[in-house]
A = this chain, B = another copy of it.
């Protein structure tokens, strides 16, 4: 007789395969799909989610989970983690009526269009009724999912298992306090003269350079690709198929390079997940906050380091000969500039988390019932000016800049800061625990760093909850300390090791 646990494994493998197929359709939509193909693609995507949802919420699945739980051996951490995640997912999936799921899916389509138009016009009022609707539907989701402390927690949990608004608030509050003086000092430094990098950067040469860098730091092109898309992203759509995208600016090679470094970080995590667990919850990446730690590690800790540019400037000159007169110190200065700017996605390493904190506080206020939708622009502008000392001139550069809310995604933003915190915490732990990692890092050899991440993070999949995983890997729970110290070193020249 087939055990309930074996049945769950088989179902999981099948649904993973179906979800992976949908992931290819989603990737294609961003990268290749002809314009008139969009409506039909939406129908296809909706079929896939419906199919997987229906299969998973079957009563028999609930019975299998209960049976698997009761049959758990005392020393089987994999089965234990699988049961933990199946139970959690089943509980969250079954308490949503299909009607509600469909209503949200439909509202999102209209909302995204309204947001794009509102941003174009820089007029929040055009988007407000849609946002109202999405907040209301998300609130209903959260109520059904349930929470212990506050409703917003149920939304955060979708992206970061076990995280709560209270704990995030404490961490981000600490971060803010330590960060403000660094921001102050960093943004007061005279800016590097970027005109020294001026020149033509043909796309084909950028591609060749990026590929050389990505390959060198460990991205497996036999099991992955880099393509072009308006929004850079990474999709780990199959055990041996991880795809990144970036975009090209023919006047600035750093834009596509840092896009690639960021996405390669995500891609290395995807390529490092345990293949034999694929289709089991334990085989999944553990959370967005950990995923983002890997992208930030390669983008910021590696890509913006002195050693990186000592190693890679000569290759950059090979592809772009007009850079020949520059030194690694020039590039280091060019890629480490802080600025009090309005747009999150263009923000530097120092100010980035202030942008996140702002969004986190606004979301807390919305779901705490302390902020009406109509009051969002004023509140956004007030807080922005208090953080950055710069006024917001219009909604497009203010509360309309991000796509997330228009997609009904709330509770996602804080995972960006968790990523920054985790990246600094883990990078320091890797270098401290293993001096070979630190030594190789200085020489721009990142194989030991990757090996450390593979061993402590990637190969663990979702065996532990995100916070536990990071604490086990680093030896201590994450805090603001490592990130702040990293930024002080880099921006206040308090040391020259990063």
Residue count of chain A within 8 Å CB distance of chain B: 32
With contacts A34-B221, A223-B37 known, is A14 near B47, CB below 8 A? yes
Bound: A28/B238 CA distance, A: 13
Find residues 13-34 in chain A having any chain B CB closer than 8 Å to their own CB. 14, 17-18, 20-22, 24-25, 28, 32-34
Give the shortest distance, in Å, between A484 (CB) and chain B (any CB): 39
A36 CB contact (under 8 Å) in B14, B18, B39, B240:
B240
A40 CB contact (under 8 Å) in B43, B47, B224, B241:
B241
Residues of chain B with a CB closer than 8 A to A36's CB: 220, 222-223, 240-241
Residues of chain B with a CB closer than 8 A to A221's CB: 34
Residues of chain B with a CB closer than 8 A to A239's CB: 40
With contacts A21-B25, A47-B17 known, is A40 near B238, CB below 8 A? yes
Q: Is there contact, CB below 8 Å, between A222 and B40?
A: no
Residues of chain B with a CB closer than 8 A to A21's CB: 21-22, 25, 44, 47-48
- The answer, yes or no, to whether A41 is at the interface (CB within 8 Å) is yes
Find residues 201-249 in chain A having any chain B CB closer than 8 Å to their own CB. 220-225, 238-241
- The answer, yes or no, to whether A190 is at the interface (CB within 8 Å) is no
A20 CB contact (under 8 Å) in B17, B18, B44, B220:
B44
- The answer, yes or no, to whether A35 is at the interface (CB within 8 Å) is yes
Q: Mark A40-59, 1 if CB is under 8 A from B, else 0.
A: 11011001100000000000
Bound: A47/B15 CA distance, A: 10
Give the shortest distance, in Å, between A57 (CB) and chain B (any CB): 19
Q: Is there contact, CB below 8 Å, between B37 and A240?
A: yes
Give the shortest distance, in Å, between A453 (CB) and chain B (any CB): 21
Closest 4 CB pairs of A and B: A37-B241, A36-B240, A36-B223, A40-B238
Task: Give 9 A-B contacts (CB < 8 Å), ordered by A residue.
Answer: A17-B40, A21-B22, A21-B44, A24-B25, A34-B241, A36-B223, A37-B240, A40-B238, A40-B239
